[in-house]
Structures are given as structure tokens and as C-alpha cells.
Structure 1
Amino acid sequence: MALPSAPRSPGRLVAVQPMRRKRCAACRRGPLSLLVLEDGAPRCLDCADLGHLVFLPRGDTALTRRSREESGLSVVVVRFNRRGSRYERQGVLVEEAALVRAEQRCLADAEARRRRRARDARRRLVEDERFKAAFAAEIRRLFPGCPDGRALAIAGHASVRGSGRVGRSAAGRALSEGAVTSAVVAGVRHADTPYDRLLMSGVPRWEARRRIAPAVESVLLAWREAGEGVG
């Protein structure tokens, strides 16, 4: 069975992974895992003067691109897809030394990315700590009687990055009074009332909130009034 018409790739050499067992038309070695078509006849890589190249499978775009940049000679490897009636790229053949250099470049980039991620993580940690402190300070300004530890705990819970909580909202990041108060209400609701136990016992959320509303307001009032007359 003849091979399908060889794909054309202007300015690029092409090797084929044959679907059927093929032998080299020159040296008769086979079956060939890779071949090059010359005048319609299959040639092994050695007879096509490509035997010194190594195969790099597709999948790593950066490594493939850099291997071809480093290699003085490269060959696109394709295989015929019967279902799609077309040749599909499987990888490239490149010089072994070029592949080694490309791998070193990719490793250097991976290390650079690791260091950048570490720097970014440290920067986010500092930013988060500053924001938590600012949020806690705003809590203490609005509720002077709130203990420092509680203010920090409420601020930390409300401002966890990626949590979707009120502290990460636009209003929360702007330290608006409404957002800060909402965070304090939530903190009081869970820590100073039987709200969680009511939910666990099957009481609907809206009903549980109604029942504990006086207790929440009592705590908030006490924390607000603690600062009256000071100064």
C-alpha cells in the first residue's frame, strides 16, 4: 500500500511515522518507525542523512520552540490520520545537543517562575497583613469596645484572599462603614450567640437570625457605647 501524499511544509523538512510496515528503498532496512519520502520512495533517517537527530514528541510548546531555535537542522514529524484524512504533527527531530540546551533554558525559566511565585506570595502576605490591620483598626474606630484580639480575628476572617467574604468585596477593600459593620455582625453572630447551634438543629437561617438579632444588637451597642465620652 502506497503512503498518502506527503505533506508539504515550505522551508521545512518532514518525516513520516508510517501506518504500515515499510523498508528503506536504499538500504532495505525495516520496518521503519520514521521515514522520509524522496521522489515517492521511503528512506530511513540514516540514508536521508538525518540519523543523528533525536525525536522530541509534541506537548511542550516552549521546549519544542527552543529546541528548533537551538538546532541547526530540524525535521517536523507527522502521522496520517485516516479519520481526518490529513497528516497530524507528532513532534520534531532536532540535534541532541540542541535539545539539551533547550531543556536547560526551560529549567532556568522554571526556576525563574518559581522565584517569581515566591516573591509574589511574600508580597501578597505583606499586603494581606496590612489590609487586615487596617480593617481591624476601622473596626476599633467604629466599635471602640471591641477587644483588640476580636477585632483582628474578625478582620482576618473577613479578608481572607479568594474567600468571597465582605472584606474582599469592593466596599470591604475601601473599608466602607457598611462592609466593616457587616463583618462585625457576622463575627458576633457566630461567636456570641447560639446561631450555629440553631442552624445545626434544623432552624431555617432566616428564623435563626431573627432569634439571635437582639443578642447581636446588644453586643454591638455595648462595643459602640464603650467609646462615648472618651476624649
Structure 2
Amino acid sequence: MDLVAPVVVEPLRRRRCSECRQGPLERMIVEYGRPVCLDCADLGHLVFLRRGDTALTRRARERSTLWAVVVRHNRRRTRYERQGLLVEEAALALAEAACLADAEARARRRARDAERRAARDAGITEALRAEILRLFPTMPLDRAAEIAAHASAKGSGRVGRTAAGRALDRGAVTAAVRASVRHLDTPYDTLLMSGVPRHRARTTVAPAIETVLRAWRAPESRGRGDADAPGVTDTTGAKGTPGRADR
């Protein structure tokens, strides 16, 4: 049988219970369009557990015969967002005891997971650095490491985190290098700050970027210009979104 938990609302305006007239209400349910306080709704004996601790929330919910979801309306996002649960006090106490009992084991597991994620992220960065040096073998080693670290930063959405970047697509890797050269080796940022439109600024610095790339490129690839970056232009990143290859 599917469980349907009651939904409790934290009102944004001052509301009074339609049955007992108590108020203003911190939390309420809505029955037939009318506010009802938790005592009148037979939920007044439950205690509030704020969201955030996943293990505690899960255990308290599992041990509570009656529980309710607490939500609040976010006006900016025009939606209701979960704030936590109302659970039985005894269930919460049991859940807290269970979490304390295995806190050390869960901390060790989190540490192991963090180490695995760090190793995976380091592998992505190192593979990108190696591919950058393969395509641009005369680039300074520290510059290649800097570009790889920047482009593959976790959660950045930059080239190194895209599917093309993870696959070490030639165009995506070149886009990351080109973006670095644009910002660090040309007056591109100064042009933007002086009010030059982005597309015009990119056109202005494009020859300087190609000069640097040509100096770093493998001998057999020199003179090919953008032929080494299929599908990548100066106005798009690896995902085809303007500016995603930039910092």
C-alpha cells in the first residue's frame, strides 16, 4: 500500500486556524481551502526535524507511525520547497541514537568516497594536461597544468567537464587552450572593460591567439589554423554555448 503523508505548510502570511481561531500559525494544513492548526489536525504531538541530515531523516521517518512533510512557498521560484518533516518524538530519539551508534562508520565511508572522487577528478585533469601537451608540445609545462586544472574544475561546467572534454575531443581541448590564451596573452579583457563588444573584441585578438597557438603547436600541424578544432569557433564553447570555453 502506498503511503500518502500529510503536507504541512509554513505560511508566509499571518493565518488563524479556521476551527479554533488560534494564531498566527507557524505551521498549518489546508483543508477545503481553509487553514487548520496542527492541534486541530491531530498533528500537534509531532516534532519538527529540519532537512539536511539524510540518514537521520530517513531513520526518523521509518520509525514514525505518523509523519508529515513540511513545505514553504518560494515566491521567487514560484514553487513549494521542502523544509523538513514532522515526526513522532520517540521515533526521532531512536533515529538519533542509531545515527550516533554508526557515526564513525559513516564518517569513514564519506572519507573513502571523497578520496575516490578526488582520485577520479585528478585523473580527469591529468588526462587533459597530457592531451594539451600532445597537441601543443612546446607549451610550458606549468601553463598546460594550469589550463587543465581550470578547464576540469569540478562543478564548473567548463570544457574539461563536458562529454567532449572527458573524451579528449581535439576541438574541445583546443577550445580550452584558446580561451586561456585569449585572457592571459591578449588585451581581450582590457577591450571588454573599455566597452568593446565581445564579438568585436574576439575578432580583434584572434590573430594574436593564432600566433601563440602556432608557436605551441606540433610541427606537423603548423599552418593548419583552425583545422585542428572542428566544430569549435571563437564564439562558442565545447557545448555550443557562447562563452562556455571562457573563464
Aligned counterparts of 1:90 and 1:138: Cα–Cα separation in 2: 53
The reply to whether residue 191 of structure 1 matches residue 187 of structure 2 is no
Q: In structure 2, what is the equivalent of residue 169 of structure 1?
A: 162
1:66 CA displacement: 2.8
Deviation per residue, 1:6-48 (Å, 9 max, x gap)? xxxxxxxxxxxx959xxxxxxxxxxxxx9xxxxxxxxxxxxxx
Alignment of 1:108-123 (within 5 A): 108=101, 112-123=105-116
Q: 2:126 matched to 1:136?
A: no
CA gap 1:145/1:56 in 2 versus in 1, 3 angstroms: same
The answer to whether residue 216 in structure 2 is matched with residue 220 in structure 1 is no
- Deviation at 1:133? 1.1
Match of 2:47 in 1: 57
SS of equivalent to 2:156: coil
- Normalised TM-score (structure 2): 0.55
Q: Secondary structure at the match of 1:145?
A: coil
The 5 A counterparts of 1:1-231 are 57=47, 59=49, 60=57, 62-66=59-63, 91-92=87-88, 94=90, 100-108=93-101, 112-225=105-218
8 Å CA contact 1:139–1:180 kept in 2: the answer is: yes
Task: Give structure 1 stretches of 5+ with no counterpart.
Answer: 1-17, 21-33, 35-54, 69-75, 79-88
Cα contact 1:190–1:196 (8 A) shared by 2: yes
TM-score in terms of structure 1 length? 0.58
Preserved CA contact (<8 Å) 1:139 1:151: yes
> How many pairs does the alignment contain?
158
Contact 2:60 2:87 in 1 (8 A): no
Deviations along 1:89-122, whole A, 9 cap, x unmatched?
965364xxx7644321133455554443332222
- Counterpart position of 1:39: none
Residues 110 and 145 of structure 1, relative CA distance in 2, 3 Å threshold: same
Question: Are the structure 2 counterparts of residues 19 and 90 from structure 1 closer, same or farther at C-alpha, using a change threshold of 3 Å?
Answer: farther
Question: Which residue is equivalent to 1:13?
Answer: none
**Would the alpha carbon gap of residues 186 and 164 (structure 1) be closer, same or farther in structure 2, given more than 3 Å must change?**
same
Corresponding residue of 1:25 = none
Shift of 1:127: 1.2
Identity %: 56
Shift of residue 226 of structure 1?
6.0
Kindly tell me: are residues 107 and 134 of structure 1, through their superposed partners in 2, closer, same or farther at Cα, counting changes over 3 Å?
Answer: same
Which stretch shifts more, 142-151 or 117-126?
117-126
For 1:77 and 1:125, how far apart are their aligned partners in 2? 38
Contact 1:145 1:226 in 2 (8 A): no
Distance 1:67-1:167 versus aligned 2 partners, 3 A rule? same
